[in-house]
Structure 1
Amino acid sequence: MVNTSVGVKHSQFARCNGCNEWVLFRTSELECTFKEAGNENVQFVCRILSKKRTYLNLYVQYGFDFIVVDGVEKLQCLLCSKVLGNGSLKPSILKQHLEATHPAHASDDRATFEAKRAKFRAAGTLPKLGFVSEKKPMLAASYHVAMRIAKAKKPHDIAKKLIKPCALDMVEHVCGNKEKQKIQAIPLSNGTIYRRIIEMSQDICQQVIEQIKSSPAKMSLQFDESCDVANFSHLLVFVRYICGKELKNEFLFCEPLEQTTKSIDIMQKIQDFFEKNDLTWDIVGSICTDEAPAMMRVRSGFTSLVKQKAPHVITTHCVLHRHALDTKTLPENLKIVLQKVVEAVNFIRARALNHRLFKAFCDKMGSEHSILLLHADVRRLSRGLMLNRVFELRTGLEFFLRDRKSKLCEDFADPKFIACLGYLSDIFTHLNQVNKQLQRTSVTIVEASEKMTALQTKLDLWARRVHQSNFTNFPNLDEEKSGELPEINEDITENLKILKNHFTGYFSKDMIPTERWLIRPFVTELSEMKDDDPEIEELIDLQSSATLREEFEKVGVIFWVKLADSFPLLTQRAFQVLVPFVTTDLCESGFSSLVAMKTKARNRLKADDDMRVALSSTAPRINKLIDSMNQQCSY
């Protein structure tokens, strides 16, 4: 022990247990004197001078040896193999652990513990992270708990504060104290969980990079940027590639944009990741972005920078973002109705008293729902849900607005206004249904093109029906007897025609023309292909297989991924259509996960590794990580 003095400067002196002399911390001559004398207590002086505590040889008398983790010395109990953090490098804490956890060995002398330490070191059974070979299941359990914490997007210290205490309680009451000691030895501290997540993230990233390099087709990237709770901008990137017999979507990386969010900054982040992992733009076949200026500017946008490096890369605009833009093409009369509905919702939801009173009013009326939903442009489905709820509560909303003396009550008493509200709720419901179908992670250009072609045909049909006062496709509108209000029909017909034209203009440019044989390979006539086409022979072999015909009928165009070895020419052309992303839905979902992880209480979290473990479909190789740690044993 070293006792600090209470002199003029409180922390400058310490008394050495070995010689009982006061030592001036800043006097190197005294330190050298102690070293020459072979006095190990001088290590206390060196330790106090440094910012971090270090292991002292005398700690073995409490049953502790040291291990090195990422260059940092950590204590490990020779009896239970438990690893303590740097904050536990105090004799009082070590003695407390020995007496509380191992009371039977509390009276053992230093020679006993030194013999035990020598035995373990000679056998080489103390691996890097402090577990002997028979403790490998405990290390594996630590990794699995860390992975569950990352998947659940929870703070790292929840393992020590909640998971481990709960596990100890359950094991103690169900299995007994003996089994409880085994659970107690599982390392689940905050720092341990953090390191586990980093190690698993690095392993997952390594696997993904290897799979990308071995993919038979060029990969596709989708990326977007958004701000977190701390108002820091993050770039989120996902990748799609062929892995074995499947089309795989994977998380690539999430990096903060420290300053500006210009196209050059985005390009620099991606370029740095490529160089770090030995990737090139030659293996990129397509990219998908939103229509932000940083992405789509003709000269300085990100897509232009990509074209300079890789002219072969195909750039597509997210179908869902264009879908959201098209829904803003409302005639003036319908736009006014939508604005007043939003005002009415904000009048109630933005005032806590109005919100409580309206809820109580709806409950008293016996309504199925009693709360209005908020609407946000960035949430693509929220507008339709909000309009449906307002239409459902329109009667109660009119009475409540009148009672609160709001001028909006007159609008909700107008039949024409309610009819327009019914149409808006119906049309946005139809658009939301298409939107949900396009949000599937495996959606391809072929499927998106088919959905949008069908929607355009339906819009044309609905416009003709509305012109004839047939509201079969608009049940809420039909409920309000809008046939008695013919002036509304013109606005609705105009809106449906505008929607059709905008969808046609937006999507016809990006959708890659697909050959008939790709969509219907078993009914395509060979005459539709040229005689000198190198793929025609493979198509003949394909059409002769009854087994493959049955499989195609089950899985659709995705079945081309499984034929890469048997039909290389056909599949290479098919990959040009199947691999490109058509939405940035994975990025949107990823930002939701980022918000769940990086809360106000965790606003300094660097979320890259947590995001990779949480969002990746590739499982970390935990056994390999454990084996590599055993091989890197360091004392």
Structure 2
Amino acid sequence: MSKKRKYDDSYIKWGFMKFVEKDGTERPQCVLCYKVLAEASMKPSKLKAHLASTHPTHQNDSEDVFRSKKARFMAKGSLTRHGFQPSTKPILEASYEVVLLIAKDKKAHTIGETLVKPCAVVMANLVCGPEEAKKLKSVPLCNNTIKRRIEDMSKDIVAQVTQELRESRCHFSLQLDESTDVASCSQLLVFARYLAGFAVKEEFLFCSPLKTTTKSVDIMNILRQEIEIFLREKGNDLADYFGDPVFVARLAYISDIFGHLNALNISLQGSSLTIVEAAERINSLREKLRLWSNCVEKRSFVNFPELAQILVDDDAQNDFCSTLVVDIKGHLKSLSDSFDGYFPNLSVDPWIQDPFTILIDDIDDDNELKDDLIELKASGRLKMQFSTVASPSEFWASNYEAFPNLVAKALRMTLSFVTTYLCEARFSALVVMKTKLRARLDVGPDMRVALSKTAPRIKRLVEEKQEHPSHRV
């Protein structure tokens, strides 16, 4: 049977007091958010991590400040001490909570008054009675109220994220992309990846309309050329091309090569991909392209199954295979060269990806990080932690306090965005929110509340406002 951890009075300096279960088990409870942590968190490192990640603005508060908060907390009664806090402005708080749900689901602002409240009133009337239903009627959920609530929560989220970026101990990375909404307005989406406390966080920053044009002369020239080709060929019988074995073979090759490129593209998607991993995957494909070129020169098309199927007839191969080999080798060389500019001169220390497989003797003795790497590699606990984390970034972020110099260098590489995956994936939210019926919507606050991982501090917003029940019935 495992030994139960005991609370130490010194834990108050990190903002934690003692919470006792019915069976006598002691657990740490935060005096700032009143959250009761697991018994396993009854250790300084876990308590400090909670304070740094959840309440970064209070990290420098004195012990007296926390003891004062504890005294006020204990004076509020038993329900409060067990984590229950009755709202002093229930109608106002309910309004904010419902609006948050509406925003997260990307619904129109009118749904609060036209559907949500009527449904709630009907259910309360049938299940709880007329008096309770009457209380729900007073919750303000009209269109303008929802708009103001979303703007309030958006500003609060901005304040929290800005504070986190300001207090981040490492540099941060930005990802941005633009798309056109239903009103033909170009919208710019921006995300950030940064160190928040002891964790890497990816957060939505803003969605803002671009006032200037995004048209490109190069894009227009390409379109013009494509249209010209289309118009010139429109009068031809395209079916004739499919009787040409050279055309069919080239088409099969293009199908195969796009299959390989699509597989690479899929492997480069995802929010946790690092620039190191992306470079490795692209370099891997470049090596494959060289291999495939050598195979094609030997008239081996095993890496191009569609083409191999077309060329299964040896007699057909003899007529045009030489020309096809030259064309494919030229295209593979061109494709390989096109990858040169993606990660030019990217030099990455191998320990960043895996600090436990490197050879210490391979590191220069003059390297100031060598001592830290020796200490880190000798830790069985950290080795076990590394084997369970989702990414190297997560491992380094969680060990910033123990190895600040190592972590700072590692995160300079792993925090960088590689693609615009986050922006592209979130443009679907823009399409849902800004429809023809909502073409004039300032979508920025709605996007922030819907997409942000940072929760708005509704109780703080409620405390700053007067409660005004709805007069609509």
TM-score, structure 1 normalization: 0.53
User: 173, 176, 188: which is aligned to 1:220?
Assistant: 173
Q: Give the structure 1 partner of residue 347 of structure 2.
A: 513
Question: Stretches of 4+ moved more than 6 A in 1?
Answer: none
Report deviation, 1:174: 5.0
Give the letter aligned to residue 608 of structure 1.
Answer: G
1:244-263, Cα deviation, whole Å (9 max, x unpaired): 2221111112222334669x
Aligned-CA RMSD value = 3.3
User: 292, 301, 321: which is aligned to 1:471?
Assistant: 301
1:3-24, Cα deviation, whole Å (9 max, x unpaired): xxxxxxxxxxxxxxxxxxxxxx
1:50-71, Cα deviation, whole Å (9 max, x unpaired): xxxxxxxxxxxxxxxxxxxxxx
User: 342, 354, 366: which is aligned to 1:532?
Assistant: 366
Give the letter aligned to residue 92 of structure 2.
Answer: L
Q: Give the structure 1 partner of residue 95 of structure 2.
A: 142
Q: Does 1:610 align with 2:443?
A: no
Unaligned 5+ residue runs, structure 2? 1-85
Q: Is the deviation greater in 178-187 or in 531-540?
A: 178-187
Q: Give the structure 2 partner of residue 550 of structure 1.
A: 384
Report deviation, 1:226: 3.7
Q: Does 1:489 align with 2:325?
A: yes
The answer as to whether partners of 2:293 and 2:332 remain within 8 angstroms in 1 is yes
Give 1:358-437 correspondences, 5 Å limit: 407-437=237-267
Give the letter aligned to residue 388 of structure 2.
Answer: K
Q: Give the structure 1 partner of residue 288 of structure 2.
A: 458
Report deviation, 1:531: 2.2
Q: Give the structure 1 partner of residue 271 of structure 2.
A: 441
Q: Does 1:188 align with 2:105?
A: no
Q: Give the structure 1 partner of residue 432 of structure 2.
A: 596
The answer as to whether partners of 2:92 and 2:467 remain within 8 angstroms in 1 is no
The answer as to whether partners of 1:168 and 1:184 remain within 8 angstroms in 2 is yes
For 1:506, what is the secondary structure of its paired residue? coil
Give the letter aligned to residue 515 of structure 1.
Answer: D
For 2:176, what is the secondary structure of its paired residue? strand
Gap change, CA 1:454 and 1:180, over 3 Å in 2: same
Gap change, CA 1:176 and 1:434, over 3 Å in 2: farther
1:376-434, Cα deviation, whole Å (9 max, x unpaired): xxxxxxxxxxxxxxxxxxxxxxxxxxxxx971122234343333222222221221121
- Higher relative contact order structure (alpha carbons within 8 Å, sequence separation ≥ 6): 2
Give the letter aligned to residue 629 of structure 1.
Answer: K
Give 1:544-583 correspondences, 5 Å limit: 544-555=378-389, 556-558=391-393, 559-583=395-419
Q: Give the structure 2 partner of residue 157 of structure 1.
A: 110
The answer as to whether partners of 2:292 and 2:303 remain within 8 angstroms in 1 is yes
For 1:224, what is the secondary structure of its paired residue? strand
Gap change, CA 1:203 and 1:549, over 3 Å in 2: same
1:357-393, Cα deviation, whole Å (9 max, x unpaired): xxxxxxxxxxxxxxxxxxxxxxxxxxxxxxxxxxxxx
For 2:464, what is the secondary structure of its paired residue? helix
For 2:294, what is the secondary structure of its paired residue? helix
For 1:193, what is the secondary structure of its paired residue? helix
The answer as to whether partners of 1:512 and 1:577 remain within 8 angstroms in 2 is no
Report deviation, 1:499: 1.0
Query: Within 2, Cα distance between the matches of 1:148 and 1:432?
Result: 37
1:552-608, Cα deviation, whole Å (9 max, x unpaired): 233342211111100011111112101222222223334333233222221211111
For 2:361, what is the secondary structure of its paired residue? helix
For 1:549, what is the secondary structure of its paired residue? helix
The answer as to whether partners of 1:225 and 1:235 remain within 8 angstroms in 2 is yes
For 1:589, what is the secondary structure of its paired residue? helix
Unaligned 5+ residue runs, structure 1? 1-132, 263-291, 295-327, 329-334, 348-404
Larger Rg: 1
What is the number of equivalent residue pairs in this alignment? 369
Query: Within 2, Cα distance between the matches of 1:606 and 1:247?
Result: 30
Gap change, CA 1:134 and 1:545, over 3 Å in 2: closer
Report deviation, 1:522: 1.5
The answer as to whether partners of 1:445 and 1:512 remain within 8 angstroms in 2 is no
Query: Within 1, Cα distance between the matches of 2:213 and 2:232?
Result: 35
Q: Is the deviation greater in 549-558 or in 236-245?
A: 549-558
Give the letter aligned to residue 617 of structure 1.
Answer: K
Query: Within 1, Cα distance between the matches of 2:372 and 2:132?
Result: 62
Report deviation, 1:135: 7.3
Gap change, CA 1:162 and 1:480, over 3 Å in 2: farther
Give the letter aligned to residue 144 of structure 1.
Answer: E
TM-score, structure 2 normalization: 0.70
The answer as to whether partners of 1:200 and 1:622 remain within 8 angstroms in 2 is yes
Gap change, CA 1:554 and 1:458, over 3 Å in 2: farther
1:26-85, Cα deviation, whole Å (9 max, x unpaired): xxxxxxxxxxxxxxxxxxxxxxxxxxxxxxxxxxxxxxxxxxxxxxxxxxxxxxxxxxxx
Q: Give the structure 2 partner of residue 207 of structure 1.
A: 160
Gap change, CA 1:293 and 1:252, over 3 Å in 2: farther
1:167-196, Cα deviation, whole Å (9 max, x unpaired): 344444555545433432322110111111
The answer as to whether partners of 2:92 and 2:468 remain within 8 angstroms in 1 is no
Query: Within 2, Cα distance between the matches of 1:611 and 1:343?
Result: 45
Report deviation, 1:202: 0.8
For 1:236, what is the secondary structure of its paired residue? strand
For 1:247, what is the secondary structure of its paired residue? strand
1:225-260, Cα deviation, whole Å (9 max, x unpaired): 443222223333221110122211111122223346
Q: Does 1:240 align with 2:193?
A: yes
The answer as to whether partners of 1:534 and 1:569 remain within 8 angstroms in 2 is no
Query: Within 2, Cα distance between the matches of 1:174 and 1:586?
Result: 43
The answer as to whether partners of 1:159 and 1:188 remain within 8 angstroms in 2 is yes
Query: Within 1, Cα distance between the matches of 2:411 and 2:124?
Result: 52
Q: Does 1:255 align with 2:226?
A: no
For 1:234, what is the secondary structure of its paired residue? strand
Query: Within 2, Cα distance between the matches of 1:474 and 1:169?
Result: 63
Give the letter aligned to residue 160 of structure 2.
Answer: Q
Q: Give the structure 2 partner of residue 626 of structure 1.
A: 462
Query: Within 1, Cα distance between the matches of 2:118 and 2:242?
Result: 56
Give 1:170-181 correspondences, 5 Å limit: 170-173=123-126, 176-181=129-134
Query: Within 1, Cα distance between the matches of 2:91 and 2:450?
Result: 22
Gap change, CA 1:512 and 1:214, over 3 Å in 2: farther
Gap change, CA 1:495 and 1:173, over 3 Å in 2: farther
Give 1:40-55 correspondences, 5 Å limit: none
Identity of aligned residues (%): 43
User: 162, 167, 170: which is aligned to 2:120?
Assistant: 167
